[in-house]
Amino acid sequence: MKGSFKDYSFEDLLFKLSLYQRFNLDIKNYISKTTIVPWGNYNEIKINRHETHYSEDFQHLINFLRWEGKFYKYCPYCKRANSLQPSQYVMEEELADSMLESFRDDETEYIDPSINMADITMAIRLNLLLKNKTITKFVKCSHDPNHEFMFIYNLKVDTYKNILELKKIGQTPSMSDFARQNINKHQKLMNDLNCFEDFVMATHMYGSGTGVAAYTYLRRVFEKVVYRVFRDNQLELGKNESEFREMRMKDKIILLKDFLPNFLTSNNSNIYGLLSSGIHELSEEEATLMFPVLESAILIIFKEKQDKIDDDDLKQKTHNALNNFATKNNTKRNPKTESRL
């Protein structure tokens, strides 16, 4: 689970943040650098130059706003993955310069220690950035430029705490639309387990900024997988449904371990425990941060189930084909047998 703003890739900031998810960017944790530079009429002297630059968080934000590198991602309009092109956010040129202060060793005597030039420059840069407190990042599909996506953020500075708050306040298409790519891969299997709509609702709730509600639907998906596996193997297990329902989830998984995907059995207590704590104990912010990890865990379970179905299907088809060819081959080698039949 990612916590710090700088840990989120540019794509994550577009597609992984739910509505109203926020970050507090540390804007005063400046980066200091010292380099040796030539000096003098003939550059015969080597002297230290001391530089102060943006904090990592603020630099990451500026880089994100200026980002225009193509990447490959699902387009909900094309209903397939395509090359996508983000547009640079238009802002003052000074913001692209990360340096807040610079001086050489021979200039220290002229510096007033009571004046913090880095703070002054940073305040000026913040004012430039906050001319528009609402920022929109546009992305277009390279296959069809009419397919345009918008991601909207709000900026608010707290100078006393030295933080800049970034909050996602809107996007189109919705997160559910983008999540369809992963969900659709397993739609048939989810429909067979009667949990497709639950999974869709989980992603919708997460995208709407209601993380706790999303956990309710995600836990329902988990439970439906477990109960369906029990019903499919009930005779072999020798337990009735009322006995099974009274068992703790941990014990249910132990009982079904030979029939469930390996990822589910090996991560049972973590997945179900976190889903339950998300409903009963976590704040909206904590639940929202953890949701993508739990969503991935559920999708891995479905992938393993689908892989087994596909593998069994391939084995059966290959077995049937081998038998068919073997029968034909035996018939050719024993034509008298065929005539007698």
Query: Residues 103, 153: one domain?
Result: yes
What is the model's pLDDT at position 329? Answer: 80
Looking at the structure, do residues 13 and 157 belong to the same domain, yes or no?
yes
Give the pLDDT confidence score for residue 292 in this predicted structure.
87
- Say whether both 32 and 165 belong to one domain: yes
Three-class secondary structure assignment of the chain? CCCCHHHCCHHHHHHCCCCCCEEEEECCCCEEEEEEEEECCCCCEEEEEEEEECCHHHHHHHHHHHCCCCEEEEECCCCEEEEEEECCCCCCHHHHCCEEEEEEHHHHHHCCCCCCHHHHHHHHHHHHHCCCCEEEEEEEECCCCCCEEEEEEEEEEECCCCEEEEEEEEEECCHHHHHHHHHHHCHHHHHHCCCHHHHHHHHHHHHCCCHHHHHHHHHHHHHHHHHHHHHHCHHHHCCCHHHHHHCCHHHHHHHCCCCCCHHHHHCHHHHHHHHHHHHHCCCHHHHHHHHHHHHHHHHHHHHHHHHHHHHHHHHHHHHHHHHHHHHHHHHHHCHHHHHHC
Whether 7 is in a domain gets the answer yes
Last residue of a domain, one of 106, 139, 172: 172
Whether 160 and 180 map to the same domain: the answer is no
All residue ranges of the chain with pLDDT < 50 are 341
* 282: in domain: yes
The answer to the question of residue 168 being in a domain is yes
**Would you state the pLDDT for residue 337?**
53
Say if 113 falls within a structural domain. yes
- Please give the residue range of the domain that contains residue 274: 174-327
The answer to whether position 338 is within a domain reads no
pTM of the model: 0.74
Which pLDDT value is given to residue 89? Answer: 96
**Predicted pLDDT at 120:** 95
Establish if 199 belongs to a structural domain.
yes
